[in-house]
A and B are shown apart, each in its own frame.
Chain A
Amino acid sequence: MLYLFIIVPLFILMFLNLPFRGLKRAAFWLAAALCLFQMFLVLFPDSFFWKLDFAWLDHLFKFDLAIDGLGEIMLFCIGLVVFISVFMGRYINADADEKLNFFSLLLIALAGLNGIVLVKDVFSLYVFIEITSVSSFMLISFYKRREALEATFKYLILSAIATILMLASISLIILISGGTSFSLMHEAIRNSPHDFLGIFAIGMFLSGLFIKAGLVPFHGWLVDAYSSAPSAVSVFLAGIATKAMGIYTLMRVTSAIFGFSIPIGNVLMLIGAVSIIIGALDALAQNDFKRMLAYSSISQMGYIVLGFGCGTALGVAGAVFHLFNHTIFKSLLFVNSAALKIQTGTSRMDKLGGLARKMPLTAVSSLLAGLSTAGIPPLPGFWSKLIIIIALWGSGHYAYAVIAVLASLITLAYIISMQRRVFFGEPAGEMENVKEASPGVILPTLLLTLIVIVSGLFFPFILENFALPAGMIIK
């Protein structure tokens, strides 16, 4: 039945594009309902749906798919972020045709993201990464603005390089494995006498994934893509696309194919630490709200990679928990940036100011999400960072633990600076008539803020039931 996560979005896409009247109006409801249903299925694994008999469909679609704790968290995050993007897209896009095209691309991306999470074959994984990438290119350049087209081109070129590296790596591993399933490749790498070939292939695959994840020094495309994409697409990219294509795939191939080893862990921790520092320092120097968030994303993804590279069950659990938290609070911050851009016409922080009185909900949610990013208790970002730091300290990586703590201070500095410049003080002259954003932006803000608060307060439940089991992917 897992194939339904891939097939249903594609069927809905085809149905919506049939030449019948009224389908355009149904597009939003169908896309939104699908995302909500996906979240429901993950949250309630004992629900009626899983007991239904789909024998005739099972006979038709013989996909080799699987899901575990990490996959469940990812499917939930995918459903949530695509839902937010669909919701914002309904209000931001002007005409019905534009909306239908936007939802169609999001449905293709949804199928691609679900496929990335569920497949057990490395070539299929590559195919689904490409589906997500192609739909992301189209979504970034959706309004054909010059800077967005330029960012798409950059992303496309670097993504092509990543693709070459990953495909070359796959072909090298096939030489010793003779097949592309995760288990076959894992066995082949473990038992192969060709150490050089294995290391070379793993190095190439990881480099490709670092590009897809936008980690330093492979982050050239990320900032432009995040900052010049339409608001709803920025949420999609920062919230889930980069994480699924880069970070999740990194976790999956490292645990299921390459097998976690100390050298791989060391490389990951180094890349993670460098990304944390460079991302945070660059974020501090930004004047544009969205560019600051983009650099902040690089830094926070560095934390996830650092925790995962630590290689202990606690470190991986911390990384998975931070991945979930980052999905929520970074999506919220990008929704806030959309509210600011729509209501004020700019995202330059030196032109904004005193907006807390005009946009109180945006200001409060931005403060909560920002403090969670910086790791302030009792918000969820604090707990996930704390777990990562404890795991690093416990496994003897003291320097990395100190870097993680110090970088949190830099994060706090740029978050407070952003809050001060955008929301505090007296409103600038041209900001006098600014109002709170429309429901299309406010409702996602409320939903994400609620999740931030709940996951901070009920972190033991999330840790115990989701993050710690997911941390067991490394055996």
Chain B
Amino acid sequence: MNMTLDIVILLALILAALWTVMTRSLLRSAIGLALVSAILTILLFRFDSPLAAVFELSVCSGLISVVFISTISLTEPMTMKEVIKHMKDRLTRFWYLPFIVVIVGTALSLLDIRLNIKVPPAETQKDVREVLWNMRQLDLIGQVTILLAGVFGVAILFKEGRKK
């Protein structure tokens, strides 16, 4: 039962990701990405990783969506004609990708690989401050720096457009 529910959530994740990539508007894409993060959060909770889940929800679903939506607000939307052309182009170029995914997935499931690995338990007992500030302090600072670089990039690349 649990396994079936996980598979359903995984399928929902794939559908949300597909919608994010295929949708016509950038804004909807950003919302789709936030949805992907939210579904991933559910999965992480189910896999006993509450810290990772909270981090995913707050940073990826929250903060990064805010950055994306702020960036999109600085762009000019495409005309309907351009949107239709883009959709057609994308379909002609990438129609075979879902088939490849299905074939590879089926092949892997037929291989029936069993590794017999005892998966190490997730960190659930430790205090979030202990994990973020003592165990993974360097990664935390690193990830803040990546966000900083992204924000700098948005400011640099879109500044002129905003002036115009």
Scan residues 57-95 of chain B and give those whose CB is less than 8 A from a CB of chain A. none
Contact B157 A144 (CB under 8 A): yes
A178 to chain B: closest CB distance in Å? Answer: 4
Interface flags, A104-139, vs B, CB<8A=1, else 0: 110010011001000101011001101100110110
Q: Given A115-B142, A127-B143, A197-B115, check contact A134 B149 (CB 8 Å).
A: yes
Per the bound structure, the CA–CA distance linking A365 and B136 in Å amounts to 46
Contact B137 A61 (CB under 8 A): yes
A159 to chain B: closest CB distance in Å? Answer: 13
A413 is an interface residue with CB less than 8 A from chain B: no
On chain B, the residues within 8 Å of A115 by CB distance are 138, 142
A55 to chain B: closest CB distance in Å? Answer: 17
Contact B152 A138 (CB under 8 A): yes
| Interface residue total, chain B, C-beta cutoff 8 A | 24
On chain B, the residues within 8 Å of A137 by CB distance are 153
Contact B160 A144 (CB under 8 A): yes
A92 to chain B: closest CB distance in Å? Answer: 15
On chain B, the residues within 8 Å of A475 by CB distance are none
Contact B138 A119 (CB under 8 A): yes
Interface flags, B137-158, vs A, CB<8A=1, else 0: 1110111011011101101110
Scan residues 16-48 of chain B and give those whose CB is less than 8 A from a CB of chain A. none
A107 to chain B: closest CB distance in Å? Answer: 10
B120 is an interface residue with CB less than 8 A from chain A: yes
Interface of A is mostly: helix
A174 is an interface residue with CB less than 8 A from chain B: yes
B124 to chain A: closest CB distance in Å? Answer: 15
Contact B157 A108 (CB under 8 A): no
Per the bound structure, the CA–CA distance linking A65 and B139 in Å amounts to 12
From B134, B145, B148, residue with most partner A Cβ within 10 Å: B145
Per the bound structure, the CA–CA distance linking A134 and B157 in Å amounts to 13
From A6, A123, A131, residue with most partner B Cβ within 10 Å: A131
Per the bound structure, the CA–CA distance linking A27 and B155 in Å amounts to 18
Taking a contact as CB atoms closer than 8 A, the residue among A62, A101, A104, A127 that contacts B146 in the complex is A127
On chain B, the residues within 8 Å of A105 by CB distance are 149, 152-153, 156
Interface of B is mostly: helix
Scan residues 179-207 of chain A and give those whose CB is less than 8 A from a CB of chain B. 179, 194, 196-197
B60 to chain A: closest CB distance in Å? Answer: 14
Chain B residues at the A interface, C-beta cutoff of 8 Å: 113, 115, 117, 119-120, 134, 136-139, 141-143, 145-146, 148-150, 152-153, 155-157, 160
User: Across the two chains, which residue of chain B brings its CB closest to A64?
Assistant: B138
On chain A, the residues within 8 Å of B113 by CB distance are 196
A43 to chain B: closest CB distance in Å? Answer: 26
A128 to chain B: closest CB distance in Å? Answer: 6
Per the bound structure, the CA–CA distance linking A104 and B115 in Å amounts to 47
Contact A138 B157 (CB under 8 A): yes
Query: Which interface class (under 10, 10 to 19, 20 to 34, 35 or more) fits A?
Result: 35 or more
Interface flags, A130-163, vs B, CB<8A=1, else 0: 1100110110011010000000000000000000
Additional 4 contacts, C-beta under 8 A, given A61-B137, A124-B139: A111-B145, A130-B146, A135-B149, A179-B120
User: Across the two chains, which residue of chain B brings its CB closest to A109?
Assistant: B149
A393 to chain B: closest CB distance in Å? Answer: 42
On chain B, the residues within 8 Å of A428 by CB distance are none
Contact B148 A108 (CB under 8 A): yes
Q: Given A144-B157, A175-B117, A178-B120, check contact A104 B134 (CB 8 Å).
A: no
Contact A176 B117 (CB under 8 A): yes
Per the bound structure, the CA–CA distance linking A130 and B139 in Å amounts to 11
Per the bound structure, the CA–CA distance linking A111 and B13 in Å amounts to 35
Contact A194 B117 (CB under 8 A): yes
On chain B, the residues within 8 Å of A29 by CB distance are none
On chain B, the residues within 8 Å of A446 by CB distance are none
Interface flags, A56-72, vs B, CB<8A=1, else 0: 00000111110000000
User: Across the two chains, which residue of chain A brings its CB closest to B145?
Assistant: A131
On chain A, the residues within 8 Å of B157 by CB distance are 138, 141, 144
Contact A194 B146 (CB under 8 A): no
Per the bound structure, the CA–CA distance linking A5 and B10 in Å amounts to 41
On chain A, the residues within 8 Å of B145 by CB distance are 10, 108, 111-112, 131
Contact B119 A175 (CB under 8 A): yes
B150 to chain A: closest CB distance in Å? Answer: 6
On chain A, the residues within 8 Å of B115 by CB distance are 175, 194, 196-197
Contact B138 A63 (CB under 8 A): yes
Q: Given A138-B157, A144-B157, A144-B160, check contact A124 B138 (CB 8 Å).
A: yes
A297 to chain B: closest CB distance in Å? Answer: 24
Per the bound structure, the CA–CA distance linking A115 and B149 in Å amounts to 15
B6 to chain A: closest CB distance in Å? Answer: 17
Q: Given A174-B120, A175-B119, check contact A138 B139 (CB 8 Å).
A: no
